[in-house]
Structure 1
Amino acid sequence: MSAARHRKGRVIIVRTIAGRVECETEIKKSRFVAVVDRAATEAQARAVIEAARKADPAAGHHCSAFIVDASATDPRIERSNDDGEPSGTAGMPMLEVLRGHRATNVVAVVSRYFGGTKLGTGGLARAYGGAVTEALSHARFLTRERREVLTLELDHVDVGRVESELRGHGVVVLGTSYAAVAVLTVAVVDPDSTAALVASLTAGRVEPVRSGVMYAEVPE
């Protein structure tokens, strides 16, 4: 299932975190060390899990969950692992927390140090899910947006004025090259509205040319 959806006029491809977060919680003397990190592929997610296992070799369990959806066309991958805890008490509650935060391209690992008191299946589920929830409370979320790349051929005398107006309307200016004419390269969410704006700024003399697609990560 694609992660793409519409919100506030923008097409959002992926909601993810800005970077790694880590926190520790304690329940009945059992310690739960949670790491949540970015992962654009299943291989990257598994590398984060293995790194956590190596970092905390004394922990009895390294339970995990991840969701990766690198693009709007690639198949979405979700995995969870209880790593020896009773079935359904660790990995799945962690995965549900990631789903609840609409987080994608993200991996969570919770390493448990047993404190001598059994928590029961319900207690374990709450502990593992709660550890990921606590970690995500410290995360900064980003949305990854698809943008069209446009090029505009302009007279040199018009470049500064047009660029300034485009920036004022939220257009991302990627660069300008100068030869016989100036070529302004921009990235936009809505190419049709940008084309209309350019037409108004140049009395219809300039028509943007679509030259590709890029993705931008924007803070929420």
Structure 2
Amino acid sequence: MSRSFPATIAGSVEHEIVISKSRFITTVAPAPDVAEAEAVIADVKRRYWDARHNCTAMVTGVLGDQARSSDDGEPSGTAGVPMLEVLRRRHLTDVVAVVTRYFGGVKLGAGGLVRAYSSAVSETLDAAVTVRREALTAVRFDVDHADAGRLDNVLRDWVRHHHATLGPTTYGRAATFEVWVPADDVAVLTADLASASGGAVETVVGEERIVDILSS
């Protein structure tokens, strides 16, 4: 059985909620490492320099094993950690969240702050496009140009049903296809290609790597 990896997001999303007159503006963004996450945080702080708080949470690493958070002046444990918990519950990594708060004059209390910062991140992530990650194995093969269109259609249908994804197709003396497949499905792909091509396709099994796959 293939190993499960935390997902990430495809791009930045910004969303605002208002709670008891306070504005909570949330930015979530993909961040492949801590340096990228810090750059996102710095950019948000420049844009919202006059805000009372810019609270942050990030998770990085293929396994999501690196995490940081900051309450940025809010009472300890009421902002950064709840934000981080949302990222953890969503099983995300390589992502950073910044919640900018413009204080509206009404104190929310510790429980109210936890709910506000959690909701701000959760609602923003609802609008993000998720990218799942899987350990996939490369399978490559050559076909004549005359057969390339038909095999391309076969593969596009096949990957939709097998948690696989297509790599780039290159055209030289032949058309070279690349498919990234769960290890357990390599034999299935080989058999299906043999059936679709009348035994003409010879596959070459290559390396394994972690591949990002946009969720449909």
Normalising by the smaller structure, the TM-score range is 0.7 to 0.9
Cα distance change, pair 154–17 in 1 and its aligned pair in 2 (3 A): closer
Match of 1:85 in 2: 74
Cα distance change, pair 65–203 in 1 and its aligned pair in 2 (3 A): same
Q: For 2:41, which of 49, 55, 63 is the aligned residue?
A: 49
Unmatched 5+ stretches in structure 1? none
Q: RMSD of the alignment, in Å?
A: 2.6
Match of 2:162 in 1: none
State the shift of 1:82 in Å: 0.8
Q: Is structure 2 residue 133 aligned with structure 1 residue 144?
A: yes
User: For residues 118-154 of structure 1, what are the alpha-carbon distances to aligned partners after superposition, in whole Å with 9 as ceiling and x for unaligned?
Assistant: 2221111111112112222322223234433322234
- Number of residue-to-residue matches in the alignment: 207
Match of 1:132 in 2: 121
Rounded to whole Å, the distance in 1 between the matches of 2:9 and 2:46 is: 23
Cα distance change, pair 52–166 in 1 and its aligned pair in 2 (3 A): closer
Q: Which residues of 2 match residues 10-159 of structure 1 at below 5 A?
A: 13-69=5-61, 71=62, 76-155=65-144, 158-159=147-148
Q: For 2:178, which of 159, 165, 186 is the aligned residue?
A: 186
Corresponding letter in the other structure for 2:187:
D
Q: Name the one with the larger strand percent.
A: 1
Q: For 1:177, which of 171, 174, 184 is the aligned residue?
A: 171
2:41·2:98 contact (CA, 8 Å) conserved in 1? yes
State the shift of 1:208 in Å: 0.6
State the shift of 1:207 in Å: 2.6
Corresponding letter in the other structure for 2:194:
A
Cα distance change, pair 201–139 in 1 and its aligned pair in 2 (3 A): closer
Rounded to whole Å, the distance in 2 between the matches of 1:65 and 1:201 is: 49
Q: What is the aligned-residue identity percentage?
A: 42
State the shift of 1:108 in Å: 0.7
1:147·1:187 contact (CA, 8 Å) conserved in 2? no
TM-score (norm 1): 0.80
Cα distance change, pair 136–161 in 1 and its aligned pair in 2 (3 A): closer
Q: Name the one with the larger helix percent.
A: 2
